[in-house]
Amino acid sequence: MIREATEHLPNIQVDSFEGLLVDYVARRGADVVLRGIRAISDYEMELQMALLNRRMRPRMETVFLMASEAHSFLSSRMVKEIFRLGGDVTGFVPEIVAKYLRTKMPPHATVGN
């Protein structure tokens, strides 16, 4: 879904990994990681992870990007719950995600965390 939602952006690469972020960053030859923050609770957890990552790989920096006010309240759990209860999620997610939900997750299905 992420690949399809960003295919119009030529400078975006979608990748996944297993294991430690510091190891993945080193394999990619990168030194900076961008992390999104929605709320103070996100910041507290992300800061802990950033400090641990810096301890394991001192040259790695973490840059925090604040979500816009229009999206700061969103989470995948909330979007799935809105959908499960029959609500319209098209204003909260890219069309590819809304399409996926309609085809793969029938409304009123049980939503896990």
Residue-wise pLDDT tens digits, 80-93? 899 989 899 988 99
For residues 6 and 58, state if they share a domain: yes
Domain boundaries, position 109: 74-113
- Position 101 confidence tier, pLDDT thresholds 50, 70, 90: confident
Q: Give me the mean pLDDT over the 91-97 stretch.
A: 90
Do 80 and 108 lie in a common domain?
A: yes
Of 53-57, 75-79, 96-100, 103-107, the least confident? 103-107
Tokens of 67: 């979500």
Percent of the chain past pLDDT 70, that is, above it, reads 93
Output the domain CATH number for residue 10.
3.40.50.620
Same domain, residue pair 48 and 13? yes
Q: Taking the model in full, what pTM does it have?
A: 0.72
- Asked whether the predicted pLDDT for residue 27 surpasses 90, the reply is yes
What local confidence, expressed as pLDDT, does residue 113 receive? 47
